[in-house]
Structure formats: C-alpha cells, structure tokens
Structure 1
Amino acid sequence: MAAAATTDWGPIIAAVALFILLSPGFLFQLPARVRVVELGNMGTSVLSILVHTILYFCVLTIVVVAVGVHVYSTKPHPIE
C-alpha cells in the first residue's frame, strides 16, 4: 500500500487571510490621506500600498517561519 500524499496548507491559508486583512483601506490604511491611520475608508495611495506590502511580508514571515502554522490534508484511503 502506498503512503498517503500530504500537503501543508498552513502557509497558503495564512497568506490568503493576511492578503485580505492587510489590503490597504479594507480594515485600515496606513498612512492615510489626511491622518496617519484611517479605518475602513476603502481608499488607497501609492505610499500606503508600499507600507502595507512591507507589513504583509513581515507578518507573513513571522507567521510561517517563527510560529510555524501547519495544516495538513491527506487523500482518503479507498475502501477495499
């Protein structure tokens, strides 16, 4: 019988969740147009895209490397 193939979905799930949450203007925008931080304004600027990209990379690296999020999935064995 062959071993079941496993896939680590942890980094993929973390990357997608952080991409959605750290999109500029969705929850917050840093730096904002008028203030330093604005919440839920659904706007963006080039500088805020750069800041959110750096923030995304740092948080994703911490979550995947330091915390080590792992979610494994296996293919079910066929019933014989």
Structure 2
Amino acid sequence: MHDWAAPIIASALFALIAPGLVVQMPGKESPIGFMNMKTSIIAIFIHTILYGLLLILFLVILDIHMYA
C-alpha cells in the first residue's frame, strides 16, 4: 500500500495557494485580493511561506495518512 496523503495535500495546496488564483496576500490595491490573476514578488514570497507552513502542519504535525 502507498500513502497518497502527501502528494494529494501538496497538489491541492499548490493549486489553492498559487498567488492570484483564488486569493493574493498582499493584493495590489488592498491587503487581500480575490481572483485577480495578477501577482507580485512579495505575494509570491508570502504564499511560499504559507505553503511551507501548511505542508508542515498537515504532514508533520497532524501526520495525515491516506492509503489506497
């Protein structure tokens, strides 16, 4: 059996946290922008930090497993 939790969680977070796709922190005109499909260097940096922290939360701290 193979543990599918890590690739599924990483792929979902990557898709949802991509800057400008669903949410952008910080936004161009406001602190949070929604679905503007634009990004900046600072937004990429903040989203990278959030992505790493959420991966650590799900895979290390919560130790989630999904076997198929």
Alignment TM-score, normalising by the size of structure 1: 0.80
The residue number in structure 2 matching 1:53 is 48
SS in 2 for 1:57: helix
Q: Which runs of 5+ in 2 are unaligned?
A: none
Aligned to 2:67: 72
Structure 2 counterpart of 1:27, from 22, 30, 33: 22
Question: After TM superposition, which residue ranges in structure 1, 4 or more long, deviate above 4 angstroms?
Answer: none
> More strand per residue: 1 or 2?
1
Shift of 1:34: 1.4
* CA RMSD after TM alignment: 0.8
Secondary structure of the structure 2 residue equivalent to 1:72: coil
Deviation, 1:29, is 0.3
Bigger helix fraction: 2
Instruction: List runs of 5+ in structure 1 lacking aligned partners.
Output: 1-5, 74-80
Larger radius of gyration: 1
1:66 CA drift (Å): 1.3
Aligned to 1:3: none
Letter paired with 1:28: V
